[in-house]
Amino acid sequence: MPVRDAWPSDLDEICAMIEEHAEYEGNASLRLDRAAMEGYLFGAHPKAWVVLAHPGGAPESVAGFAFCCWNFSTWEGRPGIWMDDLFVRPRYRRDGFGSQLLTELRSRTDGRVEWEMQDGNSKAAAFYERLGAYPVTGWTRYRWKPR
C-alpha cells in the first residue's frame, strides 16, 4: 500500500475525491475550482499538501487521501500537522489505507497531528481511538468565515 505526496498531475483526482467526500457527507453540490486548487496545492506558495494512498501500488488508482497543512504550537514550541480531511473511498475501507495515511503524517512531525471529526461519527471515533488518538476535551473550536 504505497503512500506518496500528490503531484500536480493528481489534481483532478484530488478534487474528485473531495467532491465524493462532500457528497458522502450530504453535500452533493460542492464543485471545486480546479485552477484555484492547483495554485493552493502546487503554486509558487502552496497553502496545503496532499498525501495519497494507492491500492496494490498502482499509481493510476487512488484509494484515499489526507489533505493537510502545517500548524505551529506555541505551547510545544514546534510545528505540527493539521489534517483538514481524511477520505478513503468506500470500496477500499477496512483495507488499512486510513491507518497508512495517518501513520505517514505521524512520521512527518515530532509535533501534534490534529483534525476535527463531526459529532456522532462513532465509526471514525472508534477507528481513531484504535490508532491511539483521543478527543481533546476542554476546548471548543470556533470558526470565523469570510463575509
First vs last C-alpha separation in the chain: 42
- Residue 134, number of CB atoms within 10 A of its CB: 9
Note if 142 is an active site residue.
Answer: no
Q: Please compute Rg for the chain using Cα positions.
A: 16
Among the listed residues 24, 40, 92, 128, the single catalytic one is 128
For the record, the C-alpha cell of 103 comes out as 501513520
Strands ordered across the beta sheet of 64-73: 3-5, 49-53, 64-73, 78-88, 113-114
Q: Which residues are catalytic?
A: 128
